[in-house]
Structure 1
Amino acid sequence: MLDTLWSLVVLFIPTLFWGLVFLISFRREPRQFRNAIWFALFVLTAVGTLTLLALSLSAPSEPVQVALLIALVVLAILAPAAVILFLLINAVIVIRREGLSPSTTLPGLLGLGLLAILVLDYLVLRGGTSRWLTYLMVLATLEMLWMVFTFAALLLYSTFYRMLPRKRRYDYIIIHGAGLQGERPTPLLQGRLDKAVQLWERQGRFGALIASGGKGDDEAISESEAMRRYLRDTHGVPDDAILTEDRSTTTFENLTFSKEIMDALSGTGRKAYRAALVTSDYHVFRACEYAHRIRLNADGVGSRTSGYYWPAAFIREFIAISRSHWWPYAVIALPVLIVALAR
């Protein structure tokens, strides 16, 4: 009995370790990218441990074990192909509906990039390639594995973060701009505005709505003015409940300039006021991470994004977040480059 109990404890040590690391980090500050890594490691080790436990308890016959092994091998082969095919198909759908632009081509570019790395792996493993091509394959494969892992980790954690209950009353509700069609908000921005009003009404119309967005070179009015008109004319929000921030052109500026308004009205300090950041669901985590950087006490609330557009939007978010956390890619590349140059 004691031997069995000790074996279970040893089996669960990795899961308990990563779970504890995640809980400590999450409790200190939930709006950090590192939480996505710890959470993913916790989930991976938990799934692996539970799978091993189930197999040991059920003691499957040898044919069943062989079938499971074959299924895992087939899954490992088909999964990359399925992901690449999905990305390429999604790129076609997004471009047809939204037009050709750098953001709409992202799923296709990612799919082609993954395909190129797999083809490079095949050519090198087949033999007959140069030494430098081998090093390139190793570097590209390692970087791809880290990218895929962090992409999945961010997707998993950002989904978990958005699902956390939000039962606070907010003094301010910041609405992030998302472009205009003429002088009206785009459908994406309308979704954010509708979500903000829903939150505002749910807390008894308490607090102020901050319409945050500047004026682009090709826009007749600022996003904040278009948002103010939409809130007033569509939802009947009174003008005295709407604040406008019309200088920002980026997410970081949305938060920085909105924080200046809130600080001027309610004072500075972590407990001076509480804010909600209303943006699209794919954008919530990055907005909250930026809020953490500028010491803004705020929660993220996401509006729904059309399913066909979600992959392209999330890939763009992942790229933006990865640019802020670039150093693991450098750490991965450094030993490969050192070995390549030393020979």
Structure 2
Amino acid sequence: MFLELLLIYSPALLFGFLFFRNYRKEPRQFRNALYLLMLCLFLFYGLSIQFQMPWLVIVGLAFIPFGTAALVVFLLANTFVVVRREGFSLSHILPALFALFIVAVCVALPLFVMLQAPPFVLALSGLVVLEGSYVAFTFLALLLYSWLYRRLPKRSDYDYIVVHGAGLSGTQPTPLLAGRLDKGVEVWEAIGRRALIIVSGGRGADEQVSEAAAMRTYLIEKYGVPANAIIEEDRSATTMENLRNSKALMDVRSGAGTYRAAVVTSDYHVFRTAEYAHKIGLAADGVGSKTARYFWPTAFIREYIAVSSEHRWPFVVLFALWLVPTALILFAR
């Protein structure tokens, strides 16, 4: 009986070992998301076999087409809501574009087979399905792990709290940025107001003041944060620049590797920020502020694209795996 259970759960045990080992070593890595999803899938499969409920797997497989259709409808509806509230832009129609991508992945190959398309067209549609399947898997994995990462226990003894910029409305923080600042103050107060707050954000071409300056004013006027407890970093324009420039300020002030920081950003943005911090050697925990529900899908799709661009090699490997047999088959005809 033990050996039988061991065999059933061996894949789940393998990915569970990989997940917990890598999580303990460094929780800010994308591979953790993949290990966690594989653990959940194989654990679900093992339970269905152990308790003789194979119908669970059948229900799970049957849910895929219905869940996919529901997701497409949701994304299209969400695009309408976002555009109505925020205005039309490429980033705001990302849910609709993602929905169209899902439809293309699901429909392309069967449609071209029915139409008896040329072999090369069939091969290209097969590549779309292959890459699209990887996108679906990693998107779900990142969504699951991002949710988990935001809820992991955080330290209570930070030396610095870095709040990332998120745009201005005139000279005032946007609601999104105000939420980040509010969360930063919450963390600051929770640790006894001992940390220094770094407000990080440069001045855009259409902005009257730098984001850092507006953030500083907001903290002083709304919360009474002492001016000497705030450090401005007013040269950054991207997440990575926020982190690099803030790290440089902290290194000069405290010495590299001698401090611990919290990086405060929107909840959808926490994992990528934490991963970037790990990449540049910054000892920091990601802390997230709440984002409006209607805006969350748009924001998270953008996050997925950014994270995937940092981990491009699987897409290249899948392309190579598709290219070699495809070339052999097509040239052999």
Compute the TM-score of the two structures, normalised by the length of structure 2: 0.95
Report the alpha carbon displacement of residue 26 of structure 1 after superposing the two structures with TM: 1.2
Q: 1:285 aligns with which of 271, 277, 288?
A: 271
Identity of aligned residues (%): 48
Name the counterpart of 1:52.
49
Name the counterpart of 2:100.
112
Q: SS where residue 31 of structure 1 aligns? A: coil
Name the counterpart of 1:305.
291
Inter-CA distance 69–199: structure 2 relative to 1 (3 Å threshold)? closer
Name the counterpart of 2:137.
149
Name the counterpart of 1:88.
76
Name the counterpart of 1:204.
192
Q: SS where residue 235 of structure 2 aligns? A: coil
Name the counterpart of 2:3.
6
Structure 2 residue 245 is the aligned partner of structure 1 residue 257 = yes
Name the counterpart of 1:236.
224
Q: Distance in 1 between matches of 2:92 and 2:256?
A: 40
Comparing 17-26 with 122-131, greater Cα deviation is found at 122-131
Aligned 8 A contact 2:168 2:207 in 1: yes
Q: Distance in 1 between matches of 2:253 and 2:58?
A: 64
Aligned 8 A contact 2:45 2:57 in 1: no
Q: Distance in 2 between matches of 1:222 and 1:95?
A: 27
Q: Distance in 2 between matches of 1:70 and 1:177?
A: 46
Comparing 312-321 with 121-130, greater Cα deviation is found at 121-130
1:105-144 maps to which residues of 2 (within 5 A)? 105-126=93-114, 128-144=116-132
Report the alpha carbon displacement of residue 69 of structure 1 after superposing the two structures with TM: 7.6
Instruction: Tell me the C-alpha RMSD between the 2 structures.
Output: 1.5
Q: 1:273 aligns with which of 256, 259, 269?
A: 259
Report the alpha carbon displacement of residue 77 of structure 1 after superposing the two structures with TM: 2.3
Report the alpha carbon displacement of residue 115 of structure 1 after superposing the two structures with TM: 1.1
Name the counterpart of 2:15.
18
Report the alpha carbon displacement of residue 335 of structure 1 after superposing the two structures with TM: 2.4
Inter-CA distance 181–134: structure 2 relative to 1 (3 Å threshold)? same
Inter-CA distance 223–52: structure 2 relative to 1 (3 Å threshold)? same
Q: SS where residue 244 of structure 1 aligns? A: strand
Name the counterpart of 1:175.
163
Report the alpha carbon displacement of residue 73 of structure 1 after superposing the two structures with TM: 5.5
1:208-227 maps to which residues of 2 (within 5 A)? 208-227=196-215
Comparing 29-38 with 110-119, greater Cα deviation is found at 110-119
Give the counterpart letter for 1:11 in structure 2: I
Give the counterpart letter for 1:44 in structure 2: L
Aligned 8 A contact 2:263 2:285 in 1: yes
Name the counterpart of 2:306.
320
Q: Distance in 1 between matches of 2:234 and 2:306?
A: 23
Q: Distance in 2 between matches of 1:70 and 1:160?
A: 27
Report the alpha carbon displacement of residue 117 of structure 1 after superposing the two structures with TM: 2.4
**1:140-191 CA deviation, whole Å, 9 max, x = no partner?**
0010100000000001111111101113211000000000000000000000
Structure 2 residue 98 is the aligned partner of structure 1 residue 101 = no
Aligned 8 A contact 2:216 2:232 in 1: yes
Unaligned 5+ segments in structure 2 are none
Give the counterpart letter for 2:280 in structure 1: I
What is the number of equivalent residue pairs in this alignment? 329
Q: Distance in 2 between matches of 1:294 and 1:120?
A: 41
Report the alpha carbon displacement of residue 39 of structure 1 after superposing the two structures with TM: 1.1
Give the counterpart letter for 2:110 in structure 1: Y
Inter-CA distance 103–264: structure 2 relative to 1 (3 Å threshold)? same
Q: SS where residue 55 of structure 1 aligns? A: coil
Give the counterpart letter for 1:268 in structure 2: A
Q: Distance in 1 between matches of 2:57 and 2:150?
A: 36
Q: SS where residue 105 of structure 1 aligns? A: helix
Q: SS where residue 263 of structure 2 aligns? A: strand
Q: SS where residue 292 of structure 2 aligns? A: coil
Q: Distance in 1 between matches of 2:57 and 2:168?
A: 53
Report the alpha carbon displacement of residue 290 of structure 1 after superposing the two structures with TM: 0.6
Q: Distance in 2 between matches of 1:76 and 1:163?
A: 27
**1:99-127 CA deviation, whole Å, 9 max, x = no partner?**
11121111000101111222212213425
Structure 2 residue 322 is the aligned partner of structure 1 residue 336 = yes
**1:231-276 CA deviation, whole Å, 9 max, x = no partner?**
000111110110000000000000000001101110112xx01100
Inter-CA distance 299–71: structure 2 relative to 1 (3 Å threshold)? closer
